[in-house]
Amino acid sequence: CSSLQLGLCELSLTESPINIVTQRAVTEGTLTPLTFRGYQDMFDSIITNNGHTVKVNLSGHALVEGGDLQGPYKAVEFHFHWGRKGGPGSEHTVDGQQFPMEMHIVHIKDKYSSVSEAVADPSGVAVLGVLYQVSRNKKYETLINALAKVTQQGNFNTFIVPKGQYSYFRYTGSLTTPDCAESVIWTVLENTVHLSKQQLSAFSDLMFGNGSTMVETFRPVQPLNNRRVLYYSGCNAATVSNILVINTVLTMLLTVWE
């Protein structure tokens, strides 16, 4: 975002992203496991370079609930934030550590038809944040190959399949792009997904709408301003090895076609 765009957000007090201080996160009994419905079904989605980021619009058939959310929320899109050639690029940081990339899966209450409609509700949007670290993950090769086809603005078809159960952090905040509406329930997964530096660097080959290299697409962390960060520890001891966190919430590469 430009400084002018970010200026639209400066007067607000519950902005995102934030630095999550793990020792200060509160274990809250009201938090429960997240439940994903409809994510196991394959469906056609479009990878789009919209000139600002890599975005995938979803059909809204996949729902997330539980986790003290106010009813089911439907997934409408996901997008990524990254740095430069595998360098720091996540929006959220954990104990001051910035990760190479972050994926945001944007959900809205099932009764709404769009994000723009949902943001009028103080809890209308629920975003799931997934952080990435450097390590080889062959399961993302097809996504990475697809990026080459959307280097300039354009679309590409692929399948996605979410699965998993995770420990997570929870707080109330905002969208991270203007107008930074403060209508978001944030869930940031504790466990990270691994990609190689080469795979992460592929995102840096994309182009903004003005033709410049699409790098450092993250908003800096914002003041917490006395908000509480809650923590839920998954009952299944979430690890990369035993619950396939390596797939993240989305296993993105069952099939790709022109």
Residue 196's pLDDT is what? Answer: 78
Where does the pLDDT of residue 146 fall: very low under 50, low under 70, confident under 90, or very high at 90 and above? Answer: low
Percent share of the chain, pLDDT over 70: 70
Residue 214's pLDDT is what? Answer: 80
Range of the structural domain that residue 172 is part of: 3-257
What are the start-end ranges of the E strands in 53-135?
54-57, 63-66, 73-82, 93-94, 97-98, 101-109, 125-134
In this model, does residue 89 exceed pLDDT 80?
Answer: yes
144-156 as b/e: b if 16+ CB within 10 A: bebbeebeeeeeb
In this model, does residue 241 exceed pLDDT 50?
Answer: no
In this model, does residue 108 exceed pLDDT 90?
Answer: yes
In this model, does residue 240 exceed pLDDT 70?
Answer: no
Where does the pLDDT of residue 163 fall: very low under 50, low under 70, confident under 90, or very high at 90 and above? Answer: very low
More confident residue, 75 or 242: 75
Cβ–Cβ under 8 Å, residues 81 and 98: no
Annotation says 81 is catalytic? no
Lowest mean pLDDT among 46-60, 134-148, 177-191, 224-238: 134-148
The CATH number given to whatever domain includes residue 198 is 3.10.200.10
Residue 135's pLDDT is what? Answer: 75
Count how many domains the chain has: 1
Where does the pLDDT of residue 45 fall: very low under 50, low under 70, confident under 90, or very high at 90 and above? Answer: low
In this model, does residue 31 exceed pLDDT 80?
Answer: yes
Pairing of strands 230-232, 26-27: parallel
Which span out of 16-25, 177-186, 204-213, 216-225 was modeled with the highest average pLDDT?
16-25
pLDDT digits (tens, 9 = 90+) for 96-107: 999 999 989 899
Beta bridge partners of 207: 213
Task: Output the six-digit token pair for 226.
Answer: 């006395």
Where does the pLDDT of residue 153 fall: very low under 50, low under 70, confident under 90, or very high at 90 and above? Answer: very low
In this model, does residue 253 exceed pLDDT 70?
Answer: no
Give the chain's mean pLDDT: 76
Whole-angstrom Cα distance, residue 22 to residue 5? 31
